[in-house]
Amino acid sequence: GGMVEAGSVVRDGVRVSFRVTDTARSMTVAYEGLLPDLFKEGKGVVAQGRLVDGRFVAQEVLAKHDENYMPPEAAAAMKAASAARGGHT
């Protein structure tokens, strides 16, 4: 999880690609489907999927609601991602 980079979202029908950053690194995410209504550049997002040929192919994309609330599944996914990187929440 991280923030959607400004200017990185490219839409082609139901296909979309965007870059997610944790401020230290960024990665391209490819997704096919409807994005959450709250998905926006510069906002928090969690993508679940797998790495394929150097890009992340998401099967699910969750958007952070605001700085005060996050759906439980998004919070759990961000916590798991942070733990996998050796970080703290």
Residue span of the structural domain in which 75 resides: 2-84
| pTM (whole model) above 0.75 | no
Q: Is the pLDDT of residue 73 over 80?
A: no
pLDDT band at 65 (very low <50, low <70, confident <90, very high): low
| CATH code where residue 44 lies | 2.40.50.140
pLDDT tens figures, 16-61? 999 999 888 899 999 999 999 999 999 999 999 999 988 899 999 9
Q: Which residues, in sequence order, are bridge partners of residue 44?
A: 3
In the chain, how long is the greatest CA-to-CA distance?
37
Query: Cα 1 to the chain's mean position, in Å?
Result: 5
> Where is average pLDDT lowest: 46-50, 66-70, 72-76, 82-86?
66-70
Pairing mode of beta strands 26-32, 55-63? parallel
Distance set, CA 67 to CA 53, 55, 62 (Å): 33, 28, 14
Q: Between residues 76 and 21, which one has the greater pLDDT? A: 21
Dihedral sign for Cα 10, 15, 21, 25, please. negative
The count of domains in the chain is 1
